Chain A
Amino acid sequence: MRYQVKHTTTYKYAARVTHCYNLANLAPRNTNRQKCISSQIIVTPQAIHSNIRTDYFGNQRYHFEIQTAHSELSITAQSEIEIQEQRPGLDLDFGITYGDVLNRLREGISEDVIMAREFCLDSPMVRASEALADYARPSFELSRSLYSSVSELTSRIFNDFTYTPGFTTIATPLSEVLSHKKGVCQDFAHLQVGCLRAMGIPAMYVSGYMETLPPPGQEKLVGADATHAWIAYFSPDEGWIEFDPTNDVRAEGQHIVTAFGRDYYDVTPLKGVIFGGGKSPILEVSVDVSRQD
């Protein structure tokens, strides 16, 4: 399946920005199930200096510096991505058990297992806690397959939590999300990452897009898609497997990955330092995901 994604971010500042240094995580990376065919980033006003590089996590990071004074900054990333058909063979009840995974992780013999242990640790925005473990525990039994455990956890988050835009900000702590059972996709992804780590399972935060289909009989609206977030967990032999707690699905054909990280901090779509700009800029984001048949 081939997709085209157009993602435009616009900042409108209260005062002139004379100079800025920014960092964007907007160009999709390659993963074991997707390939980024092409990707182009257009910045207005024009950047005086820019470069793109592969970062620590294998993501594409775009650095740019603008010297032209401006009161509006817009960044458009336009990419074409090929998503491979999911390889079959993962069965809910037969894969490696949770108990075996814990042992394999502890022994740490193979390189991929050693390196995956990084994602068991606390990260800037996700700290494993007893409360998260308590929430996750009912789905985890040592003799049960890990895949089925994570799948159930995903469903439980989907059922227990209400998708409520505006209830949380990016600074809302996980404990609050857990007690109010409300949030958006970032919160649910962070929550599930925290739960998995609390249970000793390496987990990553995944940022990206999801193709949305209009209600039957209606035209799809341009720009109505959104950035999305979900998780990936690690299982020895099986590798990294993605689940989407916001939609209670395994992330596959319709999920387009931008970046992997320990949490949102590692994959923030756009950050940087500006000189000037005044207070509270207005942020506008528009995303279009279209299938290229």
Chain B
Amino acid sequence: MSRKKVYNTAANIRAINAQHWSLSSFERWVFVSDSIYPQNQPLPQPQLQMQSQTQGQTQGLRYSRPAASLSDPVYTPEGNIKPEWDYLLSSLDNLGAKALNERSEKARRILRDDGVTYNIYDDQTTPKSRWELDLVPAIIGSEDWATIESGLLERAELFNLMLKDFYGQRTLLKQHALPPEALFGHGGFLRACDGIQLPGEHELILHSVDMIQRQDGSMCVTSDRTQAPSGAGYVLENRTVMSRVFPSLFRDSHVHRLASFFQRLRHKLISLSPSQNQARVVVLTPGAHNETYFEHSYISNYLGFPLVQSADLVVRNGFVWMKSLEGLGRVDVILRRIDDVFCDPVELRSDSQLGVPGLLDVVRSGRVVMANPLGSGVLENPILLKFLPQISKTLLGREPRLDSVNTYWCGDDADLKFVTANISNLIVKPIYRGALMKSVWGGDLSKTELDDLLAKIKHRPQQFVAQERIEKSHIPSFTTNGLEPRPSILRTFSVAADNSYIVMPGGLTRVGLSVGSQLISMQAGCPSKDTWVTATEPERVQEDSSPDTSQSEQEALLVSLPSRVVENLFWMGRYAERAEASLRILRTVFMLINGEQSISKASQKVLLRSITEITGTQPGFLAATDEELANPEEELLLIIKDGSRPGSIKSTLNSLLYSADESKELLSSDTIRVINDIGDALDNLDASLSEGLSSAPEEALDPLVIPLIALSGLMQESMVRSTGWRFMDMGRRVERAIQIMKTITTLTSPMVDKADNETILHAMLRSMEVLITYRRHSRARGGIELGLELVMLDTNNPRSLIFQFEHLQSHFAALKRGDMNIRELEEEDRVLLEAITSLKLSRIAHLVECTDGSRGKLALLLSQLNKLLSDFSNLVSDKYFDHRVDPQQLVSTFWGD
């Protein structure tokens, strides 16, 4: 995936993206019961509209008792609000709808500024989806939580023992606790992972559960997540926002804290290291296109572990290494956010582009540990829910405390009979996610669809289960009608610690959009909630006494930046500069064409052509007819908003956003905010250009220009002068030098008419922002000589050519630390020295010489400099960036579902 070619890399990036999209199989934010919910189905109407309307008119914000048919955890049967909800609801009532609206607005701003998304533009047209947070928290009282927590601890232990057994003795089969087909027929049972064992007591490191509160208040599990459970990072972000928006309410509610869960996770990951030395832990993400990428970078930052993609890792000599600027660094532990079957194309899915070839064999040898271990997807098999009581009796000697949803396995004759008879009242799902079909609610299907489904089931009965649908409990949620009941679902998180597990207090609550709604999914825009486990007494803040804290702080420093991140910073600098230069020339030309002084046709032609050259959108105006040149509006619009055209403003900015996402973990929160502004402006671009360019077109571009200027300011003023910053600035300097040379080449060509010469010279100076300087000087002298001197040789002008080369020189010198003794110049030094010297030795009088209508000496110098610059860029790229050739299969193999 080399991107060393200087131009047109946007297309490359798209190609890279396209490769990955087709392969991502990650859990989406769709919960159990509801994956296929027909769009045309009328959503159940809120039953409490009358009451809510009257509430809306009052100042307060009351939560009335929901209809008796709904499962309600807030009111007692006698009609009183339960104590754990009382404080919250009366506080909200005092606050009132208006104030809550204002706080919601504030929360939305914080989430947006933090860049919280659940999915990223997966093509160039759809905008990012924001994370939705409903400010009314879900409340669980301490005592109720204690019951849930002990159930979850037991369940995590049970699943841990199952995992051990499935890839070990398989006694559960031999002792008839589970039919062999239930294990052997599941796509998540990876035979290649047989016998893998982790150090310590636990095989299962992370365990997540989706559950629903039933009418009687007890919890019922609908599914277990054991691959790479997502959501914990969103919980943390929700909590951060809540504590900022409701500081006193939060403080006075005595909410159990989340921090210790993450400390234990960190501690556990470090303790898994097989190495005697300090542990090097990385977080493995499929990349910025993944819908929960925000969380991957958030968690890696929070835990202080580098975020890597598969291409950042390589297997050599039986170990896993991370490619960094300093070379290869050994990796001991990988927290994976990639499904196990995608992790190694040698032994698992051979068509995976997300894997590290040879990884599984290193895992098997114990030289790297993965959490959760490869093969843990076998525990997501819903057939296990049916057999859990027997399994638990076999492994723990008792039935599990926490109930699971009633599950019927079509591989069992009696169950199949039941499912056939009751299919319209059941949720049917395949036992292996991603295979065969998504889950469906029988009640949504027509007669023919049901028959099709039954035929499908009968063809491969062992591959299907059916589950009961549990009525979800409804909790107060803030809607346009005030506080209304909404169906809710809770995802919990457990992590292995010492001899047992630690459960995160609360978890991620998600609510449906209307009363009785079955669909709770992020795609449908369903909001999340912070979950408060409240104590009557404030929680004692415990000092974290784990001995590794100080030690582990150092490890984060040990592992340096992955080469890919550095490369993306370099490209981020380049794209930012390219976008700026393109916008600047566009604005300059708009100003001149629409100015009160009309300009000649000849000048217009040169100016329009310069746009094509500088944006790199050839052929464009270079191939335009006279008529097109006289009416350039259509082409200008395309240059701005045609995202499919490399070089267009939109395409360049999309590439900028992509590079920023890939290096997100190194960007400050202010920078992320500005990047979000650029993303928003891009999303709104079509709307703001819908009128065409007829009136004040420069203004339509302002929403793009302003955040770009802010970005450039932040890059200069708010980034630590680290290696990362140097690469970003080198990218900017390289790109700016290219743009200066293009601008000089196109806007100094000699014109017949003297006034035209003046026009295009001014255009050049204006687009390079030195017109004012030029005017101050030009009282004494002026013309093209002064213009060229300013843009090429003035070392004080940050937009001069020599300024760029000198800065590249100082960046490169700073990168070569430790090599002070080397006398001979390195190739990069030579190239830059030659460029600077030839610039310094050039004579303006010679450069402006004009024979046969062109400035030959200027052109020659610029082409020399261009060559040197491109040499430098390639040398840096070869030396520091990763140029992995894409792997291919030795023989084509198959991966059945």
* Chain A residues with a Cβ under 8 A of chain B: 11, 18, 20-23, 48-49, 51, 53, 55-57, 63, 65, 67, 108, 111, 114-115, 117-118, 120-125, 127, 170-171, 265-266, 268, 270-277, 281
* 25 A–B pairs (Cβ distance < 8 Å), ordered by A: A23-B347, A49-B316, A51-B365, A53-B364, A55-B194, A56-B194, A65-B316, A65-B358, A108-B179, A114-B174, A115-B173, A118-B184, A120-B181, A121-B181, A121-B184, A122-B185, A123-B896, A265-B894, A266-B191, A268-B891, A273-B345, A273-B346, A273-B358, A274-B887, A275-B887
B885 and A275 form a contact (CB under 8 A) = yes
Interface centre among B195, B315, B889, B894 (most CB of A within 10 A): B894
Q: Does B318 contact A (CB under 8 A)?
A: yes
* Residues of A contacting B896 in the complex (Cβ-Cβ under 8 angstroms): 122-125, 127, 265
A273 and B887 form a contact (CB under 8 A) = yes
A120 to chain B, nearest CB (A): 8
A272 and B180 form a contact (CB under 8 A) = no
* Residues of A contacting B184 in the complex (Cβ-Cβ under 8 angstroms): 117-118, 121
* Residues of B contacting A122 in the complex (Cβ-Cβ under 8 angstroms): 185, 460, 896
Give Cα A12–Cα B377 distance, bound, in whole angstroms.
38
Q: With A65-B358, A171-B894, A273-B890 given, can you name 9 additional A-B contacts, CB distance below 8 Å? A: A22-B346, A111-B174, A117-B181, A117-B184, A121-B181, A121-B185, A125-B896, A265-B893, A275-B884
* Residues of B contacting A268 in the complex (Cβ-Cβ under 8 angstroms): 891, 893
Q: Does B176 contact A (CB under 8 A)?
A: yes
* Residues of B contacting A273 in the complex (Cβ-Cβ under 8 angstroms): 345-346, 350, 357-358, 887-890
Give Cα A49–Cα B893 distance, bound, in whole angstroms.
23
0/1 string, B498-535, CB within 8 A of A gives 1: 00000000000000000000000000000000000000
* Residues of A contacting B361 in the complex (Cβ-Cβ under 8 angstroms): 51, 63
A271 and B889 form a contact (CB under 8 A) = yes
* Residues of A contacting B892 in the complex (Cβ-Cβ under 8 angstroms): 170-171
Q: Give the 6 A-B residue pairs with the shortest CB-CB distance, closest first.
A: A124-B896, A21-B358, A118-B184, A273-B357, A56-B191, A56-B194
Interface centre among B315, B886, B896 (most CB of A within 10 A): B896
Give Cα A22–Cα B889 distance, bound, in whole angstroms.
10
* Residues of B contacting A127 in the complex (Cβ-Cβ under 8 angstroms): 896
* Residues of A contacting B174 in the complex (Cβ-Cβ under 8 angstroms): 111, 114-115
Interface SS majority for chain B: loop
A11 and B894 form a contact (CB under 8 A) = no
Q: Does B192 contact A (CB under 8 A)?
A: yes
Question: Which of A18, A23, A65, A275 touches B317 (beta carbons < 8 Å)?
Answer: A65
Across the two chains, which residue of chain B brings its CB closest to A262? B191
* Residues of A contacting B316 in the complex (Cβ-Cβ under 8 angstroms): 48-49, 65, 67
B185 and A272 form a contact (CB under 8 A) = no
A274 and B173 form a contact (CB under 8 A) = no
0/1 string, B853-897, CB within 8 A of A gives 1: 000000000000000000000000000000011111111111110
0/1 string, B416-448, CB within 8 A of A gives 1: 000000000000000000000000000000000
Give Cα A53–Cα B318 distance, bound, in whole angstroms.
14
* Residues of A contacting B895 in the complex (Cβ-Cβ under 8 angstroms): 124
* Residues of A contacting B767 in the complex (Cβ-Cβ under 8 angstroms): none
A168 to chain B, nearest CB (A): 14
* Residues of B contacting A23 in the complex (Cβ-Cβ under 8 angstroms): 346-347
Give Cα A51–Cα B891 distance, bound, in whole angstroms.
21
Q: Does B213 contact A (CB under 8 A)?
A: no
0/1 string, B158-178, CB within 8 A of A gives 1: 000000000000100110100
Q: Does B462 contact A (CB under 8 A)?
A: yes
Across the two chains, which residue of chain A brings its CB closest to B167? A56
A160 to chain B, nearest CB (A): 26
Give Cα A170–Cα B892 distance, bound, in whole angstroms.
9
A271 and B317 form a contact (CB under 8 A) = no
* Residues of A contacting B180 in the complex (Cβ-Cβ under 8 angstroms): 108, 114-115, 117-118
0/1 string, B343-369, CB within 8 A of A gives 1: 001110010000001100100110000
* Residues of B contacting A67 in the complex (Cβ-Cβ under 8 angstroms): 316
* Residues of B contacting A270 in the complex (Cβ-Cβ under 8 angstroms): 890-891
Interface residues of B in 264-322 (CB under 8 A from A): 315-318
* Residues of B contacting A21 in the complex (Cβ-Cβ under 8 angstroms): 315, 346, 357-358
Give Cα A206–Cα B365 distance, bound, in whole angstroms.
28
- Bin chain B's interface residue count: 35 or more
* Residues of B contacting A281 in the complex (Cβ-Cβ under 8 angstroms): 890
Give Cα A84–Cα B318 distance, bound, in whole angstroms.
38
Across the two chains, which residue of chain B brings its CB closest to A110? B174
Give Cα A123–Cα B886 distance, bound, in whole angstroms.
29
Give Cα A123–Cα B897 distance, bound, in whole angstroms.
9
* Residues of B contacting A277 in the complex (Cβ-Cβ under 8 angstroms): 888
Across the two chains, which residue of chain A brings its CB closest to B890? A272
* Residues of B contacting A265 in the complex (Cβ-Cβ under 8 angstroms): 893-894, 896
Interface centre among B184, B318, B885, B890 (most CB of A within 10 A): B890
Give Cα A276–Cα B180 distance, bound, in whole angstroms.
42
Question: Which of A22, A56, A65, A120 touches B890 (beta carbons < 8 Å)?
Answer: A22
A55 to chain B, nearest CB (A): 8
Across the two chains, which residue of chain B brings its CB closest to A283? B891
A171 to chain B, nearest CB (A): 7
B330 to chain A, nearest CB (A): 14
Give Cα A187–Cα B170 distance, bound, in whole angstroms.
32
Give Cα A271–Cα B894 distance, bound, in whole angstroms.
11
Give Cα A197–Cα B885 distance, bound, in whole angstroms.
42
Question: Which of A51, A53, A121, A124 touches B894 (beta carbons < 8 Å)?
Answer: A124
Across the two chains, which residue of chain B brings its CB closest to A277? B888
* Residues of B contacting A272 in the complex (Cβ-Cβ under 8 angstroms): 346, 357, 889-890
Interface centre among A22, A115, A117, A271 (most CB of B within 10 A): A271
Interface residues of B in 33-83 (CB under 8 A from A): none
* Residues of B contacting A55 in the complex (Cβ-Cβ under 8 angstroms): 191-192, 194
Question: Which of A22, A65, A111, A123 touches B315 (beta carbons < 8 Å)?
Answer: A65
B840 to chain A, nearest CB (A): 42
Give Cα A268–Cα B185 distance, bound, in whole angstroms.
21
Indicate whether A11 sits within 8 Å of B194 (C-beta atoms), given known contacts A21-B357, A121-B462.
no
Give Cα A21–Cα B891 distance, bound, in whole angstroms.
12
B317 and A49 form a contact (CB under 8 A) = yes
Give Cα A136–Cα B460 distance, bound, in whole angstroms.
20
Indicate whether A108 sits within 8 Å of B346 (C-beta atoms), given known contacts A20-B890, A125-B896, A271-B893.
no
Give Cα A92–Cα B668 distance, bound, in whole angstroms.
78
A284 to chain B, nearest CB (A): 14
Across the two chains, which residue of chain A brings its CB closest to B185? A121
0/1 string, B178-200, CB within 8 A of A gives 1: 01110011000001101100000
Indicate whether A18 sits within 8 Å of B885 (C-beta atoms), given known contacts A23-B346, A48-B317.
yes
A11 and B176 form a contact (CB under 8 A) = no
* Residues of A contacting B192 in the complex (Cβ-Cβ under 8 angstroms): 55-56
* Residues of A contacting B365 in the complex (Cβ-Cβ under 8 angstroms): 51
Give Cα A178–Cα B365 distance, bound, in whole angstroms.
43
* Residues of A contacting B179 in the complex (Cβ-Cβ under 8 angstroms): 108
* Residues of A contacting B181 in the complex (Cβ-Cβ under 8 angstroms): 117, 120-121
B885 and A108 form a contact (CB under 8 A) = no
B5 to chain A, nearest CB (A): 20
0/1 string, B807-818, CB within 8 A of A gives 1: 000000000000
A114 and B173 form a contact (CB under 8 A) = yes
Indicate whether A125 sits within 8 Å of B894 (C-beta atoms), given known contacts A117-B184, A275-B885, A275-B887.
yes
Give Cα A92–Cα B185 distance, bound, in whole angstroms.
33
Give Cα A81–Cα B234 distance, bound, in whole angstroms.
59
* Residues of A contacting B346 in the complex (Cβ-Cβ under 8 angstroms): 21-23, 271-273
* Residues of B contacting A65 in the complex (Cβ-Cβ under 8 angstroms): 315-318, 358
Across the two chains, which residue of chain B brings its CB closest to A269? B891
Question: Which of A63, A118, A271, A276 touches B891 (beta carbons < 8 Å)?
Answer: A271
Give Cα A121–Cα B350 distance, bound, in whole angstroms.
22
Across the two chains, which residue of chain A brings its CB closest to B885? A275
B893 to chain A, nearest CB (A): 5
* Residues of B contacting A118 in the complex (Cβ-Cβ under 8 angstroms): 180, 184
A133 to chain B, nearest CB (A): 13
Across the two chains, which residue of chain A brings its CB closest to B893? A271
